[in-house]
Amino acid sequence: MQIKPILAALRRHKAGTILIALQIALTLAIVCNALFIVHERVDRVNRPTGMDESNVIAVQNRYVGSPPNFVPLVKTDVQALRSIPGVESAYATNSYPLRQGGWSTGIQTKPDGTKDGVPTALYFGDEQTLKTLGVRLIAGRNFNAGEVVTVQPQQTPSPPQVIVTKAIVDKLFPNGDGLGKTIYLSKGKPSTIIGVVEKLTVPWTDFDHLDNVTIMPVIFNSGYQHFLVRTRPGEQDAVFKAIPKTLYGVNRMRVLPEKYGVRTYDMVRSRAYEADRGMAILMSVVCGVLLAITAAGIVGLSSFWVGQRRKQIGVRRALGARRSDILSYFMTENFLIALAGVVLGVVLAVGLSQWMFTHFEMKRLSFTYVLVGVVVLLGLGQAAVFAPALRASKVSPVEATRSV
């Protein structure tokens, strides 16, 4: 290998060498962290809700006017939705996973109402809720129609029966004996855990306790209602179109917002993670641009050096260098510069990650990303220098006899 003379030559071209190495180092530091953020966002976007999201349609409904009791209207709408051909089940609720709005409270195991309980999101529903959500009941039973109670706007909902997620049971009753236990969602009003579902997430994507959900057999006396509808496979499109027609047919005194009135669950998920997706795209573009600029820098400097050293290349060829020797000279030279750059880049990447961890509560950069970044940057360097190096290898030995 001709590493020693290459290093000796690079020492005589410090400015260009240091600039490219720094560019590679900065690119590595930024790209590693950016790709880590992209991966985290993609993970979030694909995070499961615990539901079987296919064939579920979400409806957002606002009744117009001020009738004394909305409950009959809600019940009529639920019946109408259930009667649409292709519908498997439907129910009215206050919220659902990824809705980005809903209710939460703290669950206590003591009746005195102290606020040191486990945080939970509250979902209203009925006997068709579990079926519509497609969640798995792992212990206990479902609600029956007779257990559904009405809750007024000023009331804190605390029905006698609730179904909770496994995450809540595990936290409240670590011994695994939560089924049948009493919990308190409001002071002095006991609720019995009659069922446990494997997993169901809260409505918010940034909530710390993502899997803490309590489902209640409640119909809420409010003009603002959400309906979830499960269709039979292959019927989603037809039901999607039929829902507004059906609901307006039952009662025209309502508003189904044009954009978010009726949505498939893909649309719900897409809307919930819009910002994450945007950030992932932005970071990917930044990575792409940075890598392209770095590659262009390497191509530019290598081409300049090849042009500058044309006579020197001719002399080397005259002294016995094969084309492959010249190619390998420039490839090795770039590799050494890139290596210096990635070593510095690793330090910068870890430093940047530590800084973001300290100041923005972000996760620490996984070393896998640093390794991938190192391989990508070294590979990019070799790819970028290949064309100029190939051009150099084609310089004729007769260049040695030409005057400059």
Q: Binding residues for other proteins, per CB under 8 A?
A: 2, 4-5, 8-9, 12-13, 311-312, 315-323, 325, 396-398, 400-401, 403-404
Q: Alpha-carbon distance 21 to 334, whole Å?
A: 10
The CB-of-10 to other proteins minimum distance in angstroms stands at 8
Structure tokens of 351?
A: 């430093």
Looking at beta carbons only, is 251 or 312 nearer to other proteins? 312
The CB-of-5 to other proteins minimum distance in angstroms stands at 5
Q: Alpha-carbon distance 90 to 163, whole Å?
A: 18
Alpha helices in 64-195 (DSSP H): 71-82, 129-133, 166-172
The CB-of-361 to other proteins minimum distance in angstroms stands at 50
Looking at beta carbons only, is 21 or 218 nearer to other proteins? 21
Looking at beta carbons only, is 186 or 312 nearer to other proteins? 312
Looking at beta carbons only, is 13 or 136 nearer to other proteins? 13
The kind and range of the H/E element at 238 are: helix 236-250
Tell me the CA distances in angstroms from 58 to 55, 94, 215, 387, one per residue in order.
10, 11, 17, 55
Looking at beta carbons only, is 254 or 316 nearer to other proteins? 316
The CB-of-319 to other proteins minimum distance in angstroms stands at 4
The CB-of-300 to other proteins minimum distance in angstroms stands at 20
Half-sphere exposure of 47 (CA within 13 A, CB side): 23
- With vertex at residue 97, the alpha carbon angle to CA 96 and CA 103, rounded to the nearest 5 degrees, is 55
The CB-of-314 to other proteins minimum distance in angstroms stands at 8
Cα of 209 vs its chain's centroid, Å: 16
The CB-of-322 to other proteins minimum distance in angstroms stands at 5
- Please state whether 50 falls in left (phi above 0), alpha (psi between -120 and 50) or beta: left
The CB-of-382 to other proteins minimum distance in angstroms stands at 22
Looking at beta carbons only, is 250 or 400 nearer to other proteins? 400
Looking at beta carbons only, is 52 or 399 nearer to other proteins? 399
φ/ψ of residue 293, rounded to 5: -65, -40
| CA-wise closest residue to 160 among 180, 123, 122, 189 | 189
Which neighbouring-strand residues pair with 245? none
Looking at beta carbons only, is 145 or 319 nearer to other proteins? 319
Q: Are 172 and 183 in contact (CB under 8 A)?
A: yes
Query: 3-class SS at 15?
Result: helix
The kind and range of the H/E element at 149 are: strand 149-151
| CA-wise closest residue to 210 among 391, 375, 43, 346 | 43
